[in-house]
Each structure stands twice: as structure tokens, then as C-alpha cells.
A and B are shown apart, each in its own frame.
Chain A
Amino acid sequence: MEPILKVDDINVYYGSIHAIKGVSFEVNKGEIVTLIGANGAGKSTTLNTISGLLHSKTGSVSFMGEDLAKVPSHKIVSKGLALVPEGRRIFLQMTVQENLEMGAYTCGTKTVDEDLGKVYAQFPRLKERYRQVAGTLSGGEQQMLAMGRALMSHPTLLMLDEPSMGLAPILVEQIFDIIQRLHQSGTTILLVEQNAQAALSVADRGYVLETGKVLTSGTGSELLASPVIKKAYLGG
């Protein structure tokens, strides 16, 4: 199967700090792939590089056969690649609906109403609060808004950066339900999580990152069963 996302030997620096040291991995169409690892392993840096917020000094990121280095950063989303960034980063001073409209920025204005309808059907809580300023939403609602906003651009590949961070267990469960629903409806998903247990149980495949390198990879169940992973990330 041809991978839709191919990350090949990327090296990313923050000034003189070498954050990503030759990371390579692939995501195939229809998969849920997860990157797990501790704080500072380079998970978010990897996602930010794929979506054009950061740039790699070497190697390449190609999406559906196209080298993303040649695509201006603000055009990446229109290729079908959307990121729900770490810490949600919704526009706090704008209303819920305006946030969603921003998600559809690259789409024509014709389909926006229909897409809003779809997102509201997926997240009824957002519909109840569509005129509310986003900064007044609860953490879970903000995460839903961030996901809804990303969905407005019709992504082929949806990247989620720690969607469960700071949420109550019941909300984490909800978020993972939604991820699985999105997956069933045909969206390919690249999920970054610290909650390795939850991530690996929904993922087809996973990569374990440590200090900027891929330590190991395998199917979700393989990694869940691996003694090394159990010890390091799943609490024994």
C-alpha cells in the first residue's frame, strides 16, 4: 500500500538544540498511527514540522506523493493535511462559529454552511454555544472546537497533538470515541499522545519516540504487549 504521508530522515533544530534526529515513518491510507513518547521526545516537533510551522534541515516530508518543502506553509492545509495543535490554540476572542469558519478558510464559501452542520452534528455541545466566545468554553469543549475546526478543511489526514491533555477521564474517553468515529468515516489519523495506553489501544500502528529518535515501532497490540514499552510508558 502506498503511504499517504512519508516522513523521511528529518532533522529539526531549535537554535542550536537538535530536537529531531533523523526521524522517519509512514502513515498509510485509512490507518490510525500513533507517536508516543515522554516529554521532550520530539512528538509535537514532528507534527509541527509536517504541518509547516517548523522546517527540517534535511530529508523530506511528502504527502500523497508531493514534497511539502515545495509547498508554502499556509497552503499545506488545502492539500488535505490538518493539525489539531497541542494546547488546542483555538482563537479565544472569536466565537465558536467564527473559529469553525476559520477552519474552512481555504474552502469556498458555498460548502461552509453544510460543513458547519456536519461538525455541529458531530459535536452538539458546540452547536448550543455557537455564538459564545471561545475563551469561555470549558477545556473539553475547547478540544472539541479545535477538532471541529480542523475537520472544516476536509482533511485526508488529521493530525492530533495530545488531544487528551488536561481532560477528565470521561472526556478523554469521549475524545477517543470521536477519533474512532472519524477513522470509521474514512479519515486517516496521526495521533500524538502521552497517554500511551489509550493511544495504542485505538491505533493500527505506533512509533515510540525517545530524545528525537524512533526507538521502536510496531502494531498497536505488539507495542502494548512489549515488555520494554510496558515498563517505560504503561506504568509496568
Chain B
Amino acid sequence: MTFLNFLIGGISLGSIYAIIALGYTMVYGIAKMLNFAHGDVIMVGAYICFYAISRFSLPPLVGVLLAMFVCTVLGMVVERLAYKPLRAAPSLAVLITAIGVSYFLQNAALLLWSSNPKVFPSVVGTGKVALFGGELTITHVTIVTIVSCVVIMLALTWFTGKTKMGKAMRACSEDKGAAQLMGINVNATISMTFAIGSGLAAIAGVLLCSAYPTLVPTTGSMPGIKAFTAAVFGGIGSIPGALLGGLLLGVIEIFAKAYISTQLSDAIVFAVLIVVLLVKPAGLLGKQIREKV
């Protein structure tokens, strides 16, 4: 039974990684850049939700929606101010800018909200479901996390596969010039991608802090890096890859903590990543496109 408990814990943590990884992977797919500030958007989302619920006593759902709204706007503003002017610049310049934005957000949070840890109120309560006569307990947070992840995945798959806007997004990610020739507004599409990714980051932030309720300005960095790893693991640019990478990473991390060593768990996670990339350089579901001439 403990094995099942760990497995469910891993899937739950992995679901959070997967939701964050989606933001990395979608932005990479379309703008071909690594948005290292993505993890900090998670933190901003969590703070907004925290203040909405704890200070202004708004209902949890309103808090989550507010956090999503703020993060969506934040993502679009960051893209417009920091990344769009660098569209033609070398990718290294964009990467460094993204790291700069990350520090900026962390320090802005430090100024605004101080370094004192906030205790995040769970948005779904602290209830538990006990199964097998109490041997297997699943918290409500875990259930909501896993369900959210599944719903988000289904929604995104539908969006990119069936809607006109989603297909336009895929077209932009393949060839921006050709997409523009089709009449697709490439800049607007990139902006929309940042908006979606950042909105999802807000959800991830709330779920993360509901499971691990200590909120500080650097809360987003480690999960951000892990989720980035998950995105690379699954094949960056691929939406199913983000899900697979996130889930595997979460499960490996929890199992490593449970059965091997708590201190070494991160090292084990990254070691697995290295091995996977040695065997499959494009990630598990990454596509290596062969072009016909």
C-alpha cells in the first residue's frame, strides 16, 4: 500500500510539473526560446491567490481566477516588453533576457511581499479520502491536482487539434514566414501562447502551494527548473511530451525520495534526464523531422 501511496504522490507532483512544463514547451515550440521567467510567474500567481483569499477573504475559486487573469496579463506584458523587441536577436540574448526577467520578478516580489514565508491556505480544503480501511489515503488536493492536469491536457489537445486558432499556433511553430503568408498574425499568436502558458502557470502555482503551503518569492524557481527538465525529458515543443515528462519526473522524484535518499532525489532525477537524452537526444516524444527536398 505504501507503494501505491508513493505512486499517487508522484503522479500528483508530476501533474504540477506537467502543467508548468506545458508553458515552457508551448512557448519554446512557437517562439523558439526558453522562458526562464516562467517559474516566477507561478510564484506571482500563488501570491495573488494568497492575498485574494487570506487578506480579502474572497472565495477560493475567485482567487484562482484572479491569479489566472493577473498571470495571463503578466505573461503578455513580459513578452511585449522584454522578448518581442528581441525577435530578430540571437537566441543567447533572449535567454539572458529571460533570466533577467526571472530575477526581476523575484526581486519585485521580495519588495512587494517581503521574504517572510506566507502560509498558503489550501484552495480545496484539507480533506482526505481513505481507501482499503485507511491504508491508502488520498488528499483532496491530490485529486484536484490530477483532475486539473487531465482536464488541461484534454482542453489543449482539443484546442491545438481542432480550433482554427490552435492550428494557426501549430503552423507558426513550424514556419513563421509561411504562417504569415497564410494571413496568420504571427505576433498575436506568440502573444496568445504566452497568455495561455502564463494562465496555466497560475493554476500550477495554486496547486503547488496547496500541496506544499510555504510561499516565498523563490517558490517558483525550483519547480520551474524541474518542469523545464520535464519538458526536455518529454521532448520540448511537444504537448504530450510535457505530460509524459512531468509525470515521469514526479514519480521518479517521489520514489527516489522514498526508497533511495531524500537528499539525493534531485541528483537522481537529473541523472535519469541525462541518460534519457543520451539515448534519445530529442526527448522521449520529441520529433526529429526529416525534410524532403
Contact = CB atoms under 8 A, between A and B. Distances in A.
Interface centre among B167, B178, B179, B293 (most CB of A within 10 A): B178
A218 interface: no
A91 interface: yes
Nearest to B174: A91
Interface in B154-199: 164, 167-168, 170-171, 174-175, 177-186
Contact of B181 (A83, A92, A93, A137): A83
A96 to B, nearest CB: 13
Q: Interface on chain A toward B: helix, strand, loop, or mixed SS?
A: loop
A131 interface: no
Interface in A103-158: 103, 105-106, 109, 135, 137-139, 142, 149, 153
A74 B183 contact: yes
Contacts of B129: none
Contacts of B179: 102
A61 interface: no
Contact of A139 (B164, B171, B293): B293
Contacts of B182: 77, 102-103, 105-106, 149, 153
A74 B291 contact: no
A219 B125 CA distance: 80
B175 A74 contact: no
A138 B291 CA distance: 11
A65 interface: no
A230 interface: no
B184 A92 contact: no
A46 interface: no
Given A102-B168, A135-B289, A77 B174 contact: no
B110 to A, nearest CB: 41
B168 A91 contact: no
A4 to B, nearest CB: 19
A51 B182 CA distance: 10
Contacts of B290: 135
A89 B177 contact: yes
Contact of B183 (A85, A106, A109): A106
A89 B180 CA distance: 12
A138 B164 contact: no
B223 to A, nearest CB: 30
A138 B183 CA distance: 26
Nearest to B173: A93
Interface residues of A, number: 34
A41 interface: no
Contacts of B293: 139, 166
B167 A92 contact: no
B174 A93 contact: yes
B168 A94 contact: no
A140 to B, nearest CB: 10
Nearest to A79: B183
B183 A78 contact: yes
Contacts of A82: 181
B164 to A, nearest CB: 7
Contact of B175 (A78, A91, A98, A103): A91
B256 to A, nearest CB: 35
A53 interface: yes
B292 interface: yes
Contacts of B291: 92, 135
B292 A142 contact: yes
B121 to A, nearest CB: 43
B287 interface: yes
A180 interface: no
Contacts of A149: 182
B170 A94 contact: yes
A22 interface: no
A53 B178 CA distance: 9
Contact of A93 (B178, B183, B287): B287
B180 A74 contact: yes
Given A91-B175, A135-B290, A101 B167 contact: yes
A98 B178 CA distance: 14
Nearest to B293: A166
B164 A109 contact: yes
22 contacts: A52-B180, A53-B180, A74-B180, A74-B183, A74-B184, A82-B181, A83-B181, A85-B177, A85-B181, A89-B181, A92-B289, A93-B170, A94-B167, A98-B167, A103-B182, A105-B164, A135-B289, A135-B291, A139-B293, A142-B292, A149-B182, A153-B182
Given A53-B180, A91-B175, A105-B184, 6 more contacts: A90-B178, A91-B170, A91-B171, A92-B291, A93-B170, A105-B183
